């Protein structure tokens, strides 16, 4: 069978992700009358549009993100499955079931809406990171085939992993936006796995990417300036 062009394949995966997220959210909730779910779906759609625009601007990035799993270490492929295909869907299902069966007391609407602010900030930071870094792969690997270089501009001038920082902001706000404490433990596991992935990624980059140790010395913080 002929393989899809990576840009077409990446766009298809984005669409499937949106449809899947909506199905999990509203299917587990048992209703479409859940404004929190629609706000989250709108946030995911905004992220999808930004990602699609970046792929159009840099088709090589789309190719990399669509094919990187073929050349990534086994342990990183497992991590990506966890943080991309297991834990986030589990959180959405738990939040939907929580809404259906009222496992936790509903949060004030104002608080839930306020969570959309850090979510939007997380999306913006992730998109900025992807725009600044043409080597923003989905998997940890040295992209020798793409002329991999250290990126120190944009948000990378302040922290070494701004994409992860944006993702953590997004996920921390998710249980609040959906008004579900039941989803919080899964989200905390998601954030913990992301945090554990960072030193594993840095070990690969320090060993295989010229200039990365010097960059780490220049930018000492991983996620949050002056903290870590």
Architecture of the domain defined by 6-134+141-218: Up-down Bundle (1.20)
Q: Among residues 78, 58, 74, 45, which one has the least CA distance to residue 7?
A: 58
pLDDT at residue 9 greater than cutoff 70: no
C-beta neighbour count of 8 within 10 angstroms: 12
The least confident of 116-125, 131-140, 164-173, 183-192 is 131-140
pLDDT: is 90 or 71 the higher one?
Answer: 90
Q: Among residues 116, 136, 131, which one has the least CA distance to residue 50?
A: 131
* Stretch 61-71: mean pLDDT: 82
pLDDT tens for each residue of 19-58:
999 999 999 999 999 999 999 999 998 888 888 888 888 8
pLDDT tens for each residue of 75-107:
999 999 999 999 999 999 999 999 999 998 888
CA distance 107 to 136: 36
User: What is the reported pLDDT for 50?
Assistant: 87
pLDDT at residue 150 greater than cutoff 80: yes
pLDDT tens for each residue of 154-207:
999 999 999 999 999 999 999 999 999 999 999 999 999 999 999 999 999 999
User: What is the reported pLDDT for 8?
Assistant: 62
Could you tell me the residue ranges of all domains in the chain?
6-134+141-218
pTM of the model: 0.89
Instruction: Give the N- to C-terminal CA distance of the chain in Å, as an integer.
Output: 47
């Amino acid at each position: 069978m002929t393989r899809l062009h990576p840009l077409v394949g990446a766009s298809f995966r984005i669409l499937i992700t949106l449809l899947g997220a909506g199905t999990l959210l509203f299917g587990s909730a048992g209703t479409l009358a859940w404004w929190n779910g629609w706000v989250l779906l709108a946030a995911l759609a905004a992220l999808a549009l930004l990602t699609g625009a970046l792929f159009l601007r840099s088709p090589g990035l789309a190719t990399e993100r669509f094919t990187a799993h073929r050349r990534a270490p086994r342990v990183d492929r497992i991590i990506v499955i966890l943080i991309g295909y297991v834990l986030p869907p589990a959180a959405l299902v738990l939040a939907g079931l929580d809404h259906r069966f009222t496992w936790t007391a509903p949060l004030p609407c104002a608080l839930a809406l306020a969570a959309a602010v850090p979510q939007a900030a997380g999306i913006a930071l992730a998109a900025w990171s992807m725009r600044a870094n043409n080597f923003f792969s989905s998997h940890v690997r040295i992209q020798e085939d793409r002329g991999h270089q250290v990126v120190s501009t944009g948000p990378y001038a302040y922290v070494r992993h701004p994409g992860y920082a944006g993702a953590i902001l997004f996920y921390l706000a998710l249980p609040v936006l959906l008004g579900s404490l039941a989803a919080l433990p899964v989200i905390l596991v998601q954030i913990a796995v992301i945090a554990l992935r960072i030193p594993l990624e840095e070990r690969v980059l320090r060993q295989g990417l010229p200039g990365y140790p010097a960059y780490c010395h220049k930018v000492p913080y991983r996620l949050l300036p002056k903290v870590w």
